């Protein structure tokens, strides 16, 4: 597992370091390759590459071409392949990617999950798994940054995709700045030509610049103005010549410009400074450069850096906030702990919260459901506090709240408020059970270190978790049982009919009461693992794809994990795991055969198949009992225990006739 997956903050720091390379680098291609190397090592990828979508001169069809790349030692770079230049975006290996990237979506996962034409193309390049993030420049898709593995089938975590998408934003901003710098360089070259040719006009330069170019005299009067294509002004450009900077800019900005204007006229080095102002109800950040032009004039170049500032602000936010829940992260929490150490804010209250059963949710419904539960927990906590209070996510399933100037009675009232908010959430969202254990402590004087306060609160949390674990687990299993009863996967009454058939066959076999009870319980809850399978797959009106079949097969392991966590289902956990094994060993998940398969599972396989065949499905009509009996005979010795098939037909035929 990469360091980035263990610690998202490590990847955030890597993205910030890569952004600094792009900002500070003088040689753009070198800076991009350095940034890709930082990102590749941080995320543990084999290669990181950038492709550009562009339109060659004289053609009407956009193509994609390899531009930049970093590859780990002993990994063959993609750039060594000459076939990766000027590929049509309608190429079967790229068309779906392009359509997805245009909508600002990422593409990720093992290559085996991709369509066949994409698999063939990627496998030729040695790609086993990949993550693609779109690069936008001026709101237009410029290209894509990709991270691939040549040996590992990786499924990227949501926080990794989110953070690496931010890296794509940084690269897009760097490309935009490079384009502007190229335009500025061209403008400077034009200016030198104009000076050499002793011409009095700057029109050629003005036309070449994408930014705002202004000529100002020593009094601050605008002599000439040219607005670039990307610059929206407070006043029309034609109205600016003859006006003072104090008439056209807000007071604080005008004073700043006048100060740097004076320095430029004194011969000081080129003045570069930044500021913000409102332009037509939109906050804009600008970077201004001033260079003396003769003895009494100054050339002013104004560049819109709003996108860059927003990206930097987003980076600063992510460095101090959890990218999933948007509350403060462990880094910010530790900094606040150090700030409160002084004792000026006593008494200090600390609440530590742990989301109960998160692993069971992840194992049952998948990590997306676990992420949603964490987001819900953060929202519940934030609803109990003021905006100024500090709610932090300090671990995978752990939150903490720091409360300066908070006494013991107030803290106890707050914890009661949190518990009521959790109960309210569970009433509003009955299908998504939330439970949190709480521990709290108060520091009344400076003799107690903040670290010791945290340890006390954490110990109180652990004691509550021990006391509540059985209750919490039971409540979660109850939610799953309700979900199972509500969905009743094949048709209404499926579990009830299975239980009836199981009892009849068990009596014919003269099974013990305990064995009969286990069989009836298995008939009722064998499909409990399907609560972790998407509805669109379970109820799909047609054949499943190989990937969908694999997801459905996973319900045995999911059900096994659920049953092991439920005291009243623990005895049948092993039976739930093995209820899809075949008599000839072709079943799943363990490939057991013959009498290696528990008797209850062999019985369930027969009665479950019979009920499915004799029940209407979305894509076919039910078989008659006689047709279903014949199908069971054909499956005897392969899918089913042949002796049990004969016995079942003998026992159940008279009921069907009656």
4-8, 367-371, 596-600: least confident range:
4-8
490 pLDDT more than 50 = no
Average pLDDT over the chain reads 80
Instruction: Quote the pLDDT of residue 491.
Output: 44
Q: 232: how many CB neighbours lie within 10 A of its CB?
A: 12
The residue among 349, 474, 330 whose CA lies nearest residue 413 is 349
Delineate the domains of the chain, giving CATH numbers in brackets: 3-180 (3.30.450.40), 211-309 (3.30.450.20), 321-482 (3.30.70.270), 488-657 (1.10.3210.10)
pLDDT one-digit tens code per residue, 371-408: 888 999 999 999 888 777 789 998 888 999 998 888 88
Tell me what the mean pLDDT of segment 321-328 comes to.
Answer: 85
- Half-sphere exposure (Cβ direction) of 472: Cα atoms closer than 13 Å: 19
134 pLDDT more than 80 = yes
> For residues 38 and 170, is the Cβ–Cβ distance under 8 A?
no
Instruction: Quote the pLDDT of residue 200.
Output: 46
Q: What angle do CA 478, 481, 483 make, to 5 degrees?
A: 115
Q: 583: how many CB neighbours lie within 10 A of its CB?
A: 24
Paired sense of beta strands 348-355 and 398-403, if any: antiparallel
Residue 467: pLDDT band (50, 70, 90) is low
**β-bridge partners, 443:** 348
Instruction: Quote the pLDDT of residue 1.
Output: 46
For residue 74, give the DSSP letter: T
488 pLDDT more than 70 = no
Reduce the DSSP state of residue 608 to 3 states and report it: helix
Selected residue with higher pLDDT from 158 and 354: 354
Residue 487: pLDDT band (50, 70, 90) is low
> For residues 364 and 310, is the Cβ–Cβ distance under 8 A?
no
Selected residue with higher pLDDT from 198 and 244: 244
Give the integer Cα–Cα distance in Å for 349 and 328: 17
Give the integer Cα–Cα distance in Å for 234 and 35: 37
Residue 196: pLDDT band (50, 70, 90) is low
Cα separations (Å) of 198 from 153, 189, 492? 65, 14, 91
Instruction: Quote the pLDDT of residue 197.
Output: 57
Give the integer Cα–Cα distance in Å for 403 and 417: 15
SS3 labels along 561-584: HHHHCCCCCHHHHHHHHCCCCCCC
625 pLDDT more than 80 = yes
Selected residue with higher pLDDT from 604 and 158: 604
Our measurement of the distance from residue 240's CA atom to the centroid of its chain's CA atoms, rounded to an integer in Å, reads: 48
Residue 60: pLDDT band (50, 70, 90) is low
Tell me what the mean pLDDT of segment 295-317 comes to.
Answer: 81
The residue among 213, 235, 189, 168 whose CA lies nearest residue 22 is 168
199 pLDDT more than 50 = no
Instruction: Quote the pLDDT of residue 240.
Output: 78
568 pLDDT more than 80 = no
For residue 637, give the DSSP letter: T
Percent of all residues in the chain with a pLDDT value above 90, rounded to a whole number: 6
Give the integer Cα–Cα distance in Å for 581 and 37: 48
Instruction: Quote the pLDDT of residue 185.
Output: 67
Give the integer Cα–Cα distance in Å for 391 and 389: 6
Token digits of residue 396: 């995978």
- pTM summary value: 0.52
530 pLDDT more than 50 = yes
> For residues 480 and 528, is the Cβ–Cβ distance under 8 A?
yes
Cα separations (Å) of 376 from 215, 317, 379, 436, 532? 56, 20, 5, 11, 19
**β-bridge partners, 614:** none
202 pLDDT more than 70 = no
Instruction: Quote the pLDDT of residue 481.
Output: 64
Instruction: Quote the pLDDT of residue 420.
Output: 92
Instruction: Quote the pLDDT of residue 369.
Output: 81
535 pLDDT more than 50 = yes
Tell me what the mean pLDDT of segment 437-458 comes to.
Answer: 87
221 pLDDT more than 70 = yes
Q: 152: how many CB neighbours lie within 10 A of its CB?
A: 13
Give the integer Cα–Cα distance in Å for 556 and 533: 11
What are the φ and ψ backbone dihedral angles of 249, each rounded to 5 degrees?
-125, 155
pLDDT one-digit tens code per residue, 226-281: 776 556 666 677 777 888 888 888 888 888 888 888 888 888 877 788 888 887 77
């Amino acid at each position: 597992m990469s360091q980035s997956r263990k610690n998202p903050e490590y990847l955030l720091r890597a993205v910030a370091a890569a952004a600094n390379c792009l900002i500070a680098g003088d040689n753009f291609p070198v800076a991009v390759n350095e940034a890709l190397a930082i990102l590749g090592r941080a995320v543990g990828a084999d290669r990181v590459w950038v492709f550009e979508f562009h339109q060659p001169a004289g053609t009407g069809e956009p193509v994609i071409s390899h531009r930049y790349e970093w590859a780990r030692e002993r990994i063959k770079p993609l750039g060594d392949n000459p076939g990766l230049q000027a590929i049509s975006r309608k190429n079967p290996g790229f068309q779906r990617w392009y359509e997805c990237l245009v909508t600002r979506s990422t593409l990720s996962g093992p290559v085996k999950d991709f369509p066949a034409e994409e698999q063939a193309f990627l496998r030729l390049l040695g790609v086993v798994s990949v993550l693609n993030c779109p690069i936008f420049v001026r709101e237009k898709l410029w290209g894509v940054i990709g991270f691939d593995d040549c040996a590992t089938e990786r499924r990227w975590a949501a926080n990794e995709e989110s953070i690496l998408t931010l890296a794509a934003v940084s690269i897009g901003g760097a490309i935009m700045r490079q384009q502007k710098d190229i335009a500025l360089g061209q403008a400077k070259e034009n200016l030198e030509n104009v000076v050499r040719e002793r011409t009095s006009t700057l029109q050629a330069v003005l036309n070449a610049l994408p930014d705002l170019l202004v000529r100002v005299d020593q009094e601050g009067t605008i002599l000439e103005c040219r607005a670039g294509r990307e610059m929206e002004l407070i006043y029309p450009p034609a109205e600016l010549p003859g006006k003072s900077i104090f008439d056209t800019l807000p007071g604080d900005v005008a004073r700043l410009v006048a100060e740097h204007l004076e320095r430029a006229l004194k011969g000081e080095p080129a003045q570069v400074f930044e500021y913000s102002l409102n332009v037509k109800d939109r906050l804009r950040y600008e970077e201004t450069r001033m260079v003396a032009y003769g003895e009494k004039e100054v050339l002013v170049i104004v560049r819109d850096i709003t996108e860059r500032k927003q990206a930097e602000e987003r980076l600063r936010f992510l460095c101090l906030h959890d990218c999933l829940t948007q509350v403060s992260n462990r880094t910010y929490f530790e900094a606040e702990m150090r700030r409160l150490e002084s004792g000026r804010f006593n008494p200090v209250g600390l609440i530590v919260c742990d989301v109960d059963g998160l692993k069971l949710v992840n194992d049952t419904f998948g990590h997306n459901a676990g992420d949603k539960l964490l987001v819900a927990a953060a929202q519940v906590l934030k609803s109990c506090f003021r905006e100024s209070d500090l709610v932090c996510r300090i671990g995978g399933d752990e939150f903490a709240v720091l409360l300066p100037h908070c006494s013991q009675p107030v803290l106890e009232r707050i914890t009661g408020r949190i518990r009521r908010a959790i109960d309210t959430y569970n009433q509003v969202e009955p299908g998504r059970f939330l439970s949190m254990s709480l521990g709290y402590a108060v520091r009344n004087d400076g003799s107690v270190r903040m670290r010791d306060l945290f340890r006390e609160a954490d110990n109180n949390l652990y004691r509550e978790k021990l006391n509540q674990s059985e209750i919490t687990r039971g409540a979660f299993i109850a939610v799953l049982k309700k979900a199972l009863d509500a969905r009743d996967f094949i048709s209404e009454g499926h579990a009830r009919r299975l239980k009836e058939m199981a009892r009849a066959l068990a009596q014919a076999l003269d099974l013990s009461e305990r064995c009969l009870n286990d069989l009836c319980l298995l008939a009722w809850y064998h499909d409990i693992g399907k609560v972790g399978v998407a509805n669109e797959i379970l109820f799909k009106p047609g054949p499943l794809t190989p990937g969908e079949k694999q997801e459905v097969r996973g319900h045995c392991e999911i059900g096994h994990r659920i049953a092991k966590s439920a005291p009243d289902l623990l005895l049948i956990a092993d039976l739930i795991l093995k209820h899809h094994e075949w008599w000839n060993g072709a079943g799943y998940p363990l490939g057991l055969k013959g009498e290696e398969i528990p008797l209850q599972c062999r019985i369930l396989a027969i009665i479950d198949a019979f009920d499915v065949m004799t029940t209407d499905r979305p894509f076919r009509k039910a078989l008659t009992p006689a047709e279903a009996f014949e199908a069971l005979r054909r499956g005897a010795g392969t899918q089913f225990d042949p002796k049990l098939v004969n016995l079942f037909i003998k026992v159940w035929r008279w009921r069907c006739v009656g």
